[in-house]
Amino acid sequence: MKTKFTGVILLFTLLNLSAISQENYRPDSLREKTINVSGIAEMEVVPDEIYVVVQLREYDKKGGGKTDIDAIKNDFVKAALSTGIPEADISVQSYQGWDGNYWLYKKNKKKNPDLKASITYQVKLSTTKKMDELVQRLDDEATQNFLISRVSHSKLQDFKRQLKIQAVKAAKEKAIYLAEAIGEKAGEAVTINEPNEITVHPPYPMMANMKMRGEVAAMDAGQQEANIDFKKMKLQFEVNAVFSLK
């Protein structure tokens, strides 16, 4: 009786598998026809968040003695604040030499008598004009490097959302006119992959080992850079989508 019952279960299972197999197998003429397309959307925006890195270092005065790092730090912060830069947009990126540990500083100073402490700040600016104002107020002797590390935009996430939507719409539009070219009609979306971001960053200008005021003054005198915005960021999204064909 048990063997007979097992045989019934096995037969039922085989019938189910056969039904599933027939369900999945369809002649080409009965399979759903689809069209696979891509859509692209892009835009260029002028950054309103410019991150600059400023490296400051102790230096020897011409008349003798040294301008220490504390005085340099205070002067830098005052200069930045005087241009209207919020204190929250000024941060310390790194600190070398004197970091409050007098014993370690003394030890390093003994090994290297010419050791001079340095500090590196990151400052967020809204325009190139603000950047020029900051450069004009910096201590040329203390400033070792001034470079743009990256740029962004305060509405970047909104722009990305808009571009993703536009990319999907572009894919749908492409599916419609390609289907019409062969006498078909594009129907509902079968799959839509999340758009891939392709961000192209422009090369950033850099000033190093400066006598910066002279360089900026020369630019202003030439009038070439006076009214030109910062290089634009290019945002691009590409999406792949599959639509049914009717």
Alpha-carbon distance 156 to 46, whole Å? 11
How many C-beta neighbours within 10 Å does residue 201 have?
A: 12
State the pLDDT confidence band at 68, using cuts at 50, 70 and 90: confident
Contact 202, 232 (CB under 8 A): yes
Fold category of 29-47+154-204+232-246 in CATH: Translation Initiation Factor IF3 (3.30.110)
Q: What residue segments make up the domains of the chain, in order of their start?
A: 29-47+154-204+232-246, 49-152
- Cut 0.85: pTM above it: no
- Tens of pLDDT, residue by residue over 143-192, are 999 999 889 999 999 999 999 999 999 999 999 999 999 999 999 999 99
Right CATH number for 49-152 from 3.40.50, 1.10.3470, 3.30.70, 1.20.5? 3.30.70
